[in-house]
Amino acid sequence: MSGRALLAAATAAAVLLAAGYAALGGGRYTPPRTAAPCDQRPSPPASGIEALVSQLALVALDGAACALDVSREELTLAFFSDAESNRLAANNDLAPTDVERAVRAGLMRAVEDARRRGAIDAATARLVAAVVALAPLKSVVENLPIVKERSP
């Protein structure tokens, strides 16, 4: 085999492999983007108390994330992982009062959203909103990992 033939064969093999893998989708992965928490998400009609609670929780989470200017995914991770809660609190300079205010805002948004969709009637919505406004959320919030790790 001549040197030139070897060079041509090597070039062909290298280009074919890289082009073939690129054609099969290699190198095109981009991580999925997380939705903006302040945008309204379409909510499917909920049937049953569990589905309603689930929907309320998701809307509340969006509301809290919107108030803190983070994604709902980052906030969820911070609720369940000490490392993630430290990271989120450090990156966004969060204090326990910020989280308490955000959770209250999220719950209010969830109640209002449920009322607007007709999932709960106006009287129930007013009652729940009053509970959310007056409830001692501080103690609940202080037991979340995101706050527990940052408290003095």
Partner 1 sequence: MRTAAISLAVGLVLADSSIAVLALPALYRELGVDLADLHWVLTTFNVALALAAIPAARIVRSLRPGRAFAAGLVLFALASAACAAAPSFGALLAFRAVQALGGAAAVVAALELLPPLVRSRTRAVAVWVGAGAVGAAVGPAVGGVLTEVISWRAVFAVQVPLALVPLGFVGGLRSTVVPTPRSTRLRIAPNIALALVSAALAAPLFLVVLLLVEGWGLSPIAAASVVSVLPLAAVATAPLVRRVRGVRERAAAGAILVAGGLGGLALLPRAGWVWTLAPQALVGAGLALAITAVTEAALAGRETPVNAGITIAVRHAGVVLGLLLLSPVLVADLDRQRGAAERAGTARLLDAPVSPRTKIRLARAIGDRLDATPGRIPKLQPAFRSVASDAGERPALAKLEHDLDDVVDRAVTSTFTRPFALAAALALAALVPIALPRRGRG
Chain residues binding partner 1 by CB under 8 A are 1-4, 6-7, 9-11, 13-15, 17-18, 21-22, 24-27, 29, 31-32, 34-35, 50, 53-54, 57-58, 61, 71-74, 76-77, 79-84, 145
Specify the residue, 51 or 130, whose C-beta has the smaller distance to partner 1.
51
State the Cα–Cα distance between residues 136 and 105, nearest whole angstrom.
14
Residues 6+ apart with CB under 8 A from 121: 115
Q: How far is the CB of 5 from partner 1 (least distance, A)?
A: 9
Q: How far is the CB of 109 from partner 1 (least distance, A)?
A: 16
Q: How far is the CB of 152 from partner 1 (least distance, A)?
A: 22
